[in-house]
Amino acid sequence: MNTFTLTLSAQERASSALLTPTQVGCVASGDLEVMVEPHRHPASEQAVINIQSSGSSSAERWTHIFQLISQQQPLPPMRMDIHDFAATPGVVRLRIEQALEMAQSSMTQPSVNQPNTPQEGPDHAI
């Protein structure tokens, strides 16, 4: 098990308090879990990324992945935890981008800290 932390400069000046705690993915064969939450220090301008990987990945590989992502989507000040179980690079990037989008969206999605809300429709009685 490889464990390491990347500390990157946040590229967005927006307050991390606007982030919604979010979890995407599931640690299972060939997948990973990504959790995002606001940075613990509101004035921080850093994105702190904690990674646990069962694969032979290195900090250089993960740094490269975040460089690619940050070219398309600015990183907010945040804490991100990643639990990787040998996911492919495509799945890694997909899950990270999903987590960032959900955490930053104005329309909150159900996450680890939000209960599911009832929905209207023929299959969902209120």
DSSP-derived secondary structure for 9-32: E----S-GGGPPPEEEE--STT-E
Residue pLDDT, tens place only, 11-64 = 765 555 578 999 999 887 668 999 999 887 766 788 999 999 886 767 888 889
Mean of pLDDT values over 91-113: 76
- Percent of the chain scoring above 70 in pLDDT: 73
Is 97 a member of any domain?
A: yes
| Strands 2-9, 46-53: pairing kind | antiparallel
Is 13 a member of any domain?
A: yes
**pLDDT on residue 11:** 76
Is 117 a member of any domain?
A: no
Is 39 a member of any domain?
A: yes
| Element containing residue 6 per DSSP (H, E) | strand 2-9
**Number of domains composing the chain:** 1
Spatial contact of 8 and 47, defined as CB atoms under 8 Å apart = yes
Q: What is the mean pLDDT of the chain?
A: 79
Is 115 a member of any domain?
A: no
> Given pLDDT bands bounded at 50, 70 and 90, which one contains residue 119?
very low
Distance CA 50, CA 48 (A): 7
Is 124 a member of any domain?
A: no
pLDDT for residue 110 is more than 80: no
Is 46 a member of any domain?
A: yes
**pLDDT on residue 1:** 82
Is 110 a member of any domain?
A: no
Other C-beta atoms closer than 10 Å to the C-beta of 5 total 10
Q: Which residues contact 17 (CB under 8 A, 6 or more apart)?
A: 38, 42
pLDDT for residue 86 is more than 80: yes
3-class state of residue 92 by DSSP: helix
Per the structure, the complete domain to which residue 35 belongs is given by: 2-104
